[in-house]
Amino acid sequence: MQKKIKVAEAKKTSTPEISIVIPVYNEEENIETLCRRLFKTMDAVKRSYELIIVDDGSADKTPQMLRDIFKKRSDVLRVVTFNGNYGQYVAILAGFEHVHGEIVVTLDADLQNLPEEIPNLLVKIDEGHDLVGSYRAKRHDNWFRTLASKIVNFIREQTTGIKMRDHGCMLRAYRRFIIDEVVKTRETSTFITALAQKFAGNPIDIPVTHEERAAGSSKYNLYKLIRITFDLMTGFSLVPLQVFTMVGMVISSASGIYFLVELFKKVVTHHHGYGLHFAFVFLLLSVIILGIGLLGEYLGRAYFAVCEHPRFVIRDILEKKSEKKKDKE
């Protein structure tokens, strides 16, 4: 009953039913084709929609191109522009904070996933799933990217217990309440797909096509990938800290026994020699340093949560005047 009222209200205020969120960083070679293919697909679906593109501080021609596209399609397009580069996941979060639709779809800008497949996700949502994830049936990335992704997937499953076939595939659809929950968490760095999976009640994964990047190169380097893995581990689980504590306990017990043995040798046999002592001290030091690093990860997260640092600064929002008013109300 409540659902029906909501739909009626949506029609009255012309709130779009579907919101598509796309993070964009230096995608001048892809943005026009992306928008053209997306508008074509979604116009054919005959359901009201909005496209929210978050420009994650692009330094190429992307911002200007977005302004041009906005001039033509301000009926459906909204552009959120960051003042700098905050990363794909932060950009998606900013998009989530501006969605109006009851169904939210995410997609990358590089056309590795096909905009034409969005209707397949919508069918699954209509069937009653609150989250439609996707996995790359046949992946087209270089060996490094594929391997890195496999490692991250493995670590995620082991440390967080969150089961997802392919968290890196961003062509996904969500019911709005999941997105609202994700936004509410006010995380400083979030692994959106994993977080959303936690809030979903009836998720499903479907296979999707994965093509090579249409143009440009991956925006991820080794450093960014390592950062994501740390975010994932510290954001969703205490296992790394617990492992450290366990290792610390084992090592301190072993060192206690070792100390007693050495003491015994010294007192009873008057034995000399320092090689093993040094090795042991170095080992202990390395464990301590690792521990400090891990503690720093958690402290950093707690620090940002306490300070309520803004996760991003928006420089500008391009949208129709009526949308702006609606947001302020």
Whats the size of the chain, residue-wise?
A: 329
Backbone angles phi, psi at 51, to 5 degrees: -115, 120
Mind giving me the DSSP string for 15-69? Answer: --SEEEEEEESS-TTTHHHHHHHHHHHHHHHTS-EEEEEEE----SSHHHHHHHH
Q: Which is nearer to ligand UDP, 135 or 244 (CB)?
A: 135
Whichever of 140 and 309 has its CB closer to Mg ion, that residue is 140
Please choose, from the candidates 94, 30, 98, the residue with its C-alpha nearest in 3D space to the C-alpha of residue 62: 30
In the bound state with ligand UDP, the residue whose beta carbon lies nearer, of 108 and 130, is 108
* Nearest residue to 217 via CA among 83, 16, 30: 30
> Which partner in Mg ion, ligand UDP, none is near 85 (CB below 5 to 8 A by kind)?
ligand UDP
Residues that bind ligand UDP (CB under 6 A): 23-25, 27, 56, 85, 87-88, 91, 108-110, 112, 145, 168, 218-220
Residue 16 or 95 having the CB closest to ligand UDP: 95
Q: Provide the minimum distance between the beta carbon of 278 and ligand UDP in the complex, in angstroms, as a whole number.
A: 44
Give the span between the Cα atoms of 109 and 114, in whole angstroms.
10
**91: partner contacted, choices Mg ion, ligand UDP, none (Cβ within 5-8 A by kind):** ligand UDP
Q: In this structure, what token pair is assigned to residue 269?
A: 């046999």
Residue 61: contacted member of ligand UDP, Mg ion, none (CB under 5 to 8 Å, by partner type): none
- CB of 17 vs ligand UDP, minimal distance in Å: 24
133 binds, options Mg ion, ligand UDP, none, Cβ within 5 to 8 A by partner type: none
- Output the smallest distance, CB 315 to Mg ion, in A: 25
> Of 211 and 262, which CB lies nearer to Mg ion in the complex structure?
211
Main-chain phi, psi angles of 172, to 5 degrees: -145, 155
Cα–Cα dist 162/159, whole Å:
8
**Count of residues near Mg ion by CB under 5 A:** 2
Task: Identify what 25 binds: Mg ion, ligand UDP, none; CB under 5 to 8 Å per kind.
Answer: ligand UDP
Determine contact, residues 179/205, Cβ cutoff 8 Å: no
Q: Which of 47, 44, 207 is nearest to 113 (CA)?
A: 207
Residue 194, Cβ density class (10 Å: 0-12 exposed, 13-18 middle, ≥19 buried): middle
- Contact letters for Mg ion, residues 84-123 (x by CB under 5 A): --------------------------x-x-----------
Q: From the CB of 168, what's the least distance to Mg ion, in Å?
A: 9
Residue 27's binding partner among Mg ion, ligand UDP, none (Cβ under 5 to 8 angstroms by kind) is: ligand UDP
Give the pairing of strands 203-208 and 131-136.
parallel
Out of ligand UDP, Mg ion, none, what residue 23 binds, judged by CB under 5 to 8 A for its kind, is ligand UDP
Minimal distance in Å, beta carbon 62 to Mg ion?
15
Cα(184)–Cα(213) distance, integer angstroms = 33
327 CA to centre of own chain:
25
Minimum CB–partner distance for residue 104 and ligand UDP (Å): 16
The residues that touch Mg ion, with contacts defined as CB under 5 A, are: 110, 112
